[in-house]
Chains A and B, each alone.
Chain A
Amino acid sequence: MATQTFAPSMTPSAAAHLTDEQVETLGAELDALRAEVVGSLGEADARYIHRVIAVQRGLEVGGRGALIFSLFPPAWVVGTAALSVAKILDNMEIGHNVLHGQWDWMRDPKIHSTTWEWDHASPAASWKKSHNYEHHTFTNIRGKDRDLGYSIMRITPEQEWKPTDLFQPLVNLGLSMIFEWGIAIYDIEIEKVKDGTKPWPQAKAELMGLWRKARRQLAKDYVLFPLLSGPGFLSTVAANATANVVRNVWSHAVIFCGHFPDGVESFDFDEERLESETKGQWYLRQMLGSANLSGSKLFHLMTGNLSHQIEHHLFPDVPSNRYAEIAPRVQEICKRYGLPYTTGSLPRQYGKVLRKIARLAFPGGGPAPAATPPTQLPDQARRRLAAPARLAS
């Protein structure tokens, strides 16, 4: 994977109408919102995460127990379903959020970002670096946020087109099936070893760490529990593989809907601009660079509350069970400042992501040039202009 090249930004930012003072006031409002929520954390929140963990463990034990009899079709179906849900909860509402430090305030050594490990190919330590630090700090900055297209897909029109991009709809399908492995290997940044910016011994040590973690996971899903099923060995292998694929496809869909649908901005920041970015500007980038998913309470739980991607990116270490109550207030703030708050159902948003991946498999894909330079329009008109431009991207 060669270093990517990017063209200059093709769409005006939806926040172009805000003055510097307005951006800082916006930041202060969000700081106050955060302080209010953090100050109200208490026993009910602690009970919530304990309950989710108990349910997850119950489903996992129950599912794997049922799969001992996986030759019996109803047991296969029930066991696979329970195990799939358990793996999704483990990764999303529990693992991702605990590793963000959302529950560190409880001072519980058993539910803490420094001690947690999860049913995911990425070892917790490397995940915290690549995700908590790199992705959440450099969110949607082209060339800096490695989650933007994961280097193998062209997800913004500013990315230079390569012939291999033609295959990206297929690549995306494949990636969704093996998503956890894709992320785990991608996070080691082998390409940096090639271009000499990462020493091989370090990459080797990280690969060994991944292998130590992965072999236990592979042994558990594809050897040990299948052996417990006796004659149902292969049937249990199939069930566990199904649960892993279900978890991968689901988390891939939810995560891709967080930053790639239409209406979400990507940014063109150089080091200098990043250095001088204020808290208000950081908040703004997080809001404009994320999109929500609408749905029921159960849906939000199953997405690990990443359906509240905007709130999560504003406050990555605020417990996920609070995002739902924060959401209307963030939406109100966006409205007041004339900022987009992108949200929609999963099928709608994922449809847009797939459409974008298909369109950007071919060269071009940027917005049609505007007839009037946006800067000469009053605020309202400029926003109207900006919105369709983003939709077309």
Chain B
Amino acid sequence: MRNTVEYMGVLGEIRQRARVAATWFTQPLLPDDLLGTLNPVWSTREPHARVVGLRRETADTTTLLLRTGPARPGHRAGQFVGIGTRLDGVWHWRTYSVTSCPGDPLLAVTVTAVPGGTVSGALAHRTPVGTLLRIGPPAGEFVLPDQVPEKLLFLTAGSGITPVMGILRDLAATRPEALGGAVLVHCDRTPSDLVFGPDLRELATSTGLTLVERHTAVKGRLTPDNLTDIVPDWAARQAWACGPAGLLDALTEHWAMAGDPAALHVELFTPPATVAADATGGRVSFTTSGIEADAGPGTPLMVAGEAAGALLPNGCRMGICHTCVGRLRSGAVRDLRTGDLHDTPGEPVRTCVSGAAGDVEIEL
């Protein structure tokens, strides 16, 4: 065993030296740039993925099957990845849940077209097989612990099923017994709107998962009150919930009042709602690039910077993934979701959900 480790270490070092040597031959480019020119999927520094298959889940939801390059980092079931797509020559990034299992050869992401959303609409409806996408590293805390709890409860609405689908598929493949006593309450308007309907029904039959489909067009929205009717022992379960902000707020309140707040795990999948009241706006300077931009009240620093031509790290654009973090050098920023003011120099700032509160300098 020790020999193998040493052997791997030596191999790694040789590979590292070969890479450095190759860089002398390719500079000012990197060997990776030349590989990426031949086939973008081979690039390890700017990972790409090619769409090799499509599954139409519902009228507005599509699963993209992606072949990734050799450098694809492993994800945990329930996490999301950043997906970049070129529309009219411009790269746009959004995050989507992975719905395939960690070991699957192809990576599946499921995209629901948001009404009026240019990026989600293009990905769900106008992305043919063969399209090249960019792909970011997996991220997100909406995952099961290593020690899977005995009694599981999943509460989802609309496209909130996507991270849970990743979790369910992983459990079915690796620990099907954990699904035996589990309950999934999934809400959508009608049976035909229900994302993964057939897959979930089949999963319920094969594993013993209790599937409760709630068609809100007939039965109305899920509330904490009717939750007790559907799942009487909800308080005894570890719950994972994903869906619109209204539902998650109601559930969080319910668990806080009548249950154990630590037993509820939520994933909010909506862009930041801006806080209009105290949002002041101001001039933002990105100190690394030297780019300055006016960020109006309620405008995320990232959006203002990109409009001024800055190339900023970005990921989920909703304050989840922390890809976009830059340090605050001076001034103050306001969290556009909560209205909180942050003005400690050196504090990491998520530019996608932070607006300027007066003039501000960010180290990006």
Residue positions of A touching B, CB distance < 8 A: 41-47, 53-54, 57, 61, 101, 104-110, 112, 114-115, 117-119, 213, 216-217, 219-220, 224-225
Contact residues in A for B177 (Cβ distance below 8 Å): none
The residue that B34 contacts in the complex, of A61, A107, A108, A112, with Cβ under 8 A, is A61
A44 to B88, CA, bound (A): 8
Q: Min CB distance, B40 to chain A, in Å?
A: 9
**Chain A residue nearest in CB terms to B87:** A43
Q: Is B90 at the interface (CB under 8 A from chain A)?
A: yes
Determine whether the beta carbon of B88 is less than 8 Å from that of A42: yes
Determine whether the beta carbon of B37 is less than 8 Å from that of A107: no
Q: Is B175 at the interface (CB under 8 A from chain A)?
A: no
Most chain A CB inside 10 Å of its own CB: which residue of B25, B27, B29, B89: B89
Q: Is B340 at the interface (CB under 8 A from chain A)?
A: no
10 more A-B residue pairs beyond the given contacts A43-B88, A53-B37, with a C-beta to C-beta distance below 8 A? A41-B89, A105-B90, A106-B89, A106-B90, A107-B90, A107-B306, A109-B311, A119-B28, A213-B28, A216-B24
Determine whether the beta carbon of B46 is less than 8 Å from that of A109: yes
Determine whether the beta carbon of B46 is less than 8 Å from that of A110: yes
Q: Min CB distance, B288 to chain A, in Å?
A: 8
Q: Min CB distance, B48 to chain A, in Å?
A: 11
**Chain B residue nearest in CB terms to A49:** B89
Contact residues in B for A43 (Cβ distance below 8 Å): 86, 88-89
Residue positions of B touching A, CB distance < 8 A: 24-25, 27-29, 33-34, 36-37, 46, 86, 88-92, 289, 306, 309, 311
Determine whether the beta carbon of A104 is less than 8 Å from that of B86: no
Q: What are 20 A-B pairs with beta-carbon distances under 8 A?
A: A41-B88, A43-B86, A43-B88, A45-B89, A46-B86, A104-B309, A104-B311, A105-B309, A106-B86, A106-B89, A108-B91, A109-B46, A110-B33, A110-B46, A112-B311, A115-B311, A117-B29, A216-B24, A217-B28, A224-B25
Determine whether the beta carbon of B37 is less than 8 Å from that of A54: yes
A108 to B306, CA, bound (A): 12
Determine whether the beta carbon of A220 is less than 8 Å from that of B25: yes
Contact residues in B for A104 (Cβ distance below 8 Å): 309, 311
Contact residues in B for A45 (Cβ distance below 8 Å): 89
A54 to B92, CA, bound (A): 23
Contact residues in B for A109 (Cβ distance below 8 Å): 46, 311
Determine whether the beta carbon of B90 is less than 8 Å from that of A220: no
Contact residues in B for A57 (Cβ distance below 8 Å): 29, 33-34, 37
Contact residues in A for B311 (Cβ distance below 8 Å): 104, 107, 109, 112, 114-115
The residue that B24 contacts in the complex, of A101, A112, A114, A219, with Cβ under 8 A, is A219
Contact residues in B for A115 (Cβ distance below 8 Å): 311
**Chain A residue nearest in CB terms to B314:** A107
Most chain B CB inside 10 Å of its own CB: which residue of A57, A101, A216: A57
**Chain B residue nearest in CB terms to A120:** B28
Contact residues in B for A119 (Cβ distance below 8 Å): 28
Q: Min CB distance, B363 to chain A, in Å?
A: 14
**Chain B residue nearest in CB terms to A50:** B37
Contact residues in B for A44 (Cβ distance below 8 Å): 89
Determine whether the beta carbon of B89 is less than 8 Å from that of A42: yes
Q: Given known contacts A61-B34, A107-B311, A112-B311, is B90 in contact with A117 (CB within 8 Å)? A: no
Q: Min CB distance, A120 to chain B, in Å?
A: 9
Contact residues in A for B37 (Cβ distance below 8 Å): 53-54, 57
Q: Min CB distance, A316 to chain B, in Å?
A: 13
**Chain B residue nearest in CB terms to A53:** B37
Contact residues in A for B27 (Cβ distance below 8 Å): 216-217, 220
Contact residues in B for A41 (Cβ distance below 8 Å): 88-89
Contact residues in B for A54 (Cβ distance below 8 Å): 37
The residue that B91 contacts in the complex, of A101, A106, A118, A225, with Cβ under 8 A, is A106
Determine whether the beta carbon of B86 is less than 8 Å from that of A114: no
Q: Min CB distance, A194 to chain B, in Å?
A: 29
**Chain B residue nearest in CB terms to A58:** B37
8 A-B pairs with the lowest CB-CB distances in the bound complex, closest first: A46-B89, A117-B28, A42-B88, A107-B91, A104-B309, A43-B89, A42-B89, A216-B27
Determine whether the beta carbon of B25 is less than 8 Å from that of A118: no
A61 to B31, CA, bound (A): 12
Q: Min CB distance, B85 to chain A, in Å?
A: 11
**Chain B residue nearest in CB terms to A47:** B89
A200 to B84, CA, bound (A): 45
Q: Min CB distance, A285 to chain B, in Å?
A: 24
Q: Min CB distance, A270 to chain B, in Å?
A: 27
Q: Min CB distance, B220 to chain A, in Å?
A: 43
Contact residues in A for B88 (Cβ distance below 8 Å): 41-43
A225 to B21, CA, bound (A): 12
Q: Given known contacts A104-B309, A115-B311, A220-B27, is B86 in contact with A110 (CB within 8 Å)? A: no
Determine whether the beta carbon of B24 is less than 8 Å from that of A220: yes
A104 to B305, CA, bound (A): 12
Contact residues in A for B91 (Cβ distance below 8 Å): 106-108
Contact residues in A for B86 (Cβ distance below 8 Å): 43, 46, 106
Contact residues in A for B24 (Cβ distance below 8 Å): 216, 219-220, 224
A46 to B46, CA, bound (A): 17
Determine whether the beta carbon of A118 is less than 8 Å from that of B28: yes
